[in-house]
Amino acid sequence: MDKKIAEMKEQFLSALAQSRDTQNLEELRVAYLGKKGFVTELLKGMKDLSNEEKKAFGQKVNDIKSEVTKRIAERTEELKRLELEREINATPEFDISMPPTLGEGSYHPITLVQRQCERIFKSMGFTVEDYSEVVTDYECFESLNIPKHHPARDMQDTYYLENGQLLKSQTSAAQNAIYKKYKDALIHDGVPIKAIFPGRCFRNEATDACHENTFFQMEGVMVDKNISISNLIYFMKTMLSEVFQKDIKVRLRPGFFPFVEPGFELDISCLICGGTGCPSCKHSGWLELCPCGMIHPEVLKAGGIDPDEYTGFAFGLGLTRLVMMKYGIKDIRDLNGGSLKALSQFTDDE
Ligand code: FA5
């Protein structure tokens, strides 16, 4: 029996050394450890042995079983490693001196205009804030004076996540965090809150020439003592004339947002059709660009700021629409289309 076991072990080790892939290894496992394998055959011979011999033989069979299992596992790891090395060696080397086939990369037009707006507002003393795209219901609605079941929620068909959070439907979602971040400096040191926060927004929209389901806004807030609508109008006009480098016809009309009082819609005369009406402005001659207003007292309170002492304005610029107007892009969907040919023609004009 010992001779038989030794022979079997020798055969197994030689077959193992010749195995080239996991399929070979599985065949070996079945041949040695399977129901009809060599080990099972060995066990069949036990019946002719004495009790004493059975014990010793059983131990040897168990040892060989463990060894076969262990060696197959080791060889599997080794073959995996060799396979990976083969793959790595087969990958062609990357030639960093090769000229690019797609030409030089360029900034997306939205990035260009966003950076331009950031420069303009920074030069007027605003900080630029970054904020998450996944936010809580409190940030996006409740802290903005929009409690659960408020009809104003219907104006934004929002994408909710299974965990109750949501994809930011408006950059206003960052307002509460900004107030909390800067309120101490405002209250104790008299430093006005002046911040802009650009960001990507998501809404379940039926898309058309001026509506996308993924678009950019740029929110701005200013809070201090005695802030009024005149301050709001000044900053809006300065920003627009800097972006367009010319005077732009704007109109301010009443608008309702639960987080501002009074609230306005700031429209600009459509630069695609010159105000005569086209699909980009829904044939009205005006493009809704930047809702704004004086921050509602409840919103200031939620941010830890006393509305009896401080006032402020907020605006929510439609950054993607501003890009359309600036570059004469007729259809908003072209901006998310990913055509490098279309998108690479814009350059920074500063
Ligand atoms: C808001 O999102 C408010 N948070 C704005 C605001 C901020 C008001 C602060 C008052 C104070 P509205 O849903 O209208 O408002 O969107 C603001 C701007 O984002 C619009 O004027 C428009 O320019 C742009 N916008 C809205 N929906 C889309 C869309 N589906 N595609 C492209 N741009 C959009």
**331 Cα–ligand 1 center, Å:** 17
Ligand 1 atom closest to Cα of 172?
Answer: 4
- For ligand 1, whether the C-beta of 170 sits within 6 Å is yes
Is 163 or 7 the better-scoring residue by pLDDT?
163
Distance, CA 200 to ligand 1 centroid (Å)?
Answer: 11
Nearest residue (CA) to ligand 1, atom 25 = 318
Look up residue 21 and give its DSSP letter: S
Using alpha carbons, select from 264, 290, 273, 262 the residue that is nearest to residue 328. Answer: 273
140 Cα–ligand 1 center, Å: 13
Task: Indicate the DSSP class of residue 208.
Answer: B
Gap from CA of 166 to ligand 1 centroid (Å)? 17
Check if the beta carbon of residue 314 is closer than 8 Å to that of residue 145: no
Neighbours of 164 (CB within 10 A): 8
User: Which residue has its alpha carbon closest to ligand 1 atom 27?
Assistant: 211
**Digit-coded pLDDT (tens) for 249-305:** 888 999 999 999 999 999 988 888 888 999 888 899 998 889 999 999 999 999 999
> Which of 319, 316, 320 is closest to 175 using CA atoms?
316
What is the C-alpha to C-alpha distance for residues 289 and 322, in angstroms, rounded to an integer?
7
For residues 65 and 130, the model is more confident at: 130
Average pLDDT, the chain: 90
Amino acid identity for residue 167 in this structure? L
- State whether the beta carbon of 212 lies less than 6 angstroms from ligand 1: yes
Render pLDDT for 168-194 as a digit per residue (tens, 0 to 9). 999 999 999 999 999 999 999 999 999
Residue 280 alpha carbon to ligand 1 centre in Å: 16
The protein residue whose alpha carbon is closest to atom 9 in ligand 1 is 315
Peptide bond into 262 cis (omega under 30): yes
More confident residue, 249 or 309: 309
From CA 228, how far away is CA 208, in angstroms rounded?
36
* Residue 313 pLDDT grade (very low, low, confident, very high; cuts 50, 70, 90): very high
Residue to mutate (ligand 1; options 257, 260, 268; most atoms within 8 A of CB): 257
CA distance 308 to 296: 11
Answer yes or no: are the C-beta atoms of 222 and 312 closer than 8 Å: yes
C-alpha–C-alpha distance, residues 322 and 311, integer Å: 27
Contact 199, 175 (CB under 8 A): no
Q: Which atom of ligand 1 is nearest to the CA of 170?
A: 2
